[in-house]
Amino acid sequence: MMRIDAHPFAFEFDRAHTALVIIDMQRDFIEPGGFGESLGNNVALLSAIVPACQAVLQAWRRASGLVVHTREAHCADLSDCPPAKRNRGNPTLRIGDPGPMGRILVAGEPGNQIIPELAPHPDEIVLDKPGKGAFYATGLHEMLQARGISHLIFMGVTTEVCVQTSMREANDRGYDCLLLEDCTESYFPEFKTAAVEMMHAQGAIVGWTAQSRQLLEQPAFR
């Protein structure tokens, strides 16, 4: 067992029964010229976490740990995108519309791909999800159970939306979850701060949080 000095108390896990889950590190959210920037967001906030995510991913791969990548993605005909999701608000671009990197949040489009710095390896799970959470309308729970996974370590974007939703879903299914604080970000820094505090409040009500260096200090990842 490994032990990380996390918030609100130590997080213990066995690498063989733990998966690294990387949420929605997609070009449209991270890169200049993508969907996120077209909505007026500062994507530099999100791209700043890429080096830390890379370091963790590389160390996890060296340790032969299970890796799961998610993408928020819809079918080309939008049959898995409820009107309530597509029509909400008054954005310049909606899901399915042509954007700077292809159709917005549509599977297979250039902007829907994971950024090159974190590109999946052939033996890693890549999961397209139609909702915010990684467990909704996907087979993730069954995949993890088949591999004997009981603990999850989360990275990705955005902290208060898809990351937090996925952690809450995982918590409800019995997984112990750790969020790496310097490997997640929001377009709104105050939202990240609030989300992180909510996650580890009340005795890790949703999960634990820690810095990536605390994971990388473990002998198995050096």
- Residues labelled catalytic: 24, 129, 162
- Give residue 12's identity as a one-letter amino acid code: E
Q: Which residues contact 50 (CB under 8 A, 6 or more apart)?
A: 25, 30, 115, 117, 118
Q: Which residues contact 55 (CB under 8 A, 6 or more apart)?
A: 212, 216
CA distances from 27 to 2, 60, 104, 136 (A): 33, 22, 11, 22
Q: Where are the beta strands (DSSP E) in the chain?
A: 2-4, 11-13, 18-23, 66-72, 98-99, 102-103, 125-129, 151-157, 176-185, 208-210
Whole-angstrom Cα distance, residue 214 to residue 181? Answer: 11
Whole-angstrom Cα distance, residue 111 to residue 15? Answer: 32
DSSP state of 106: B
Residue 188, SS3?
coil
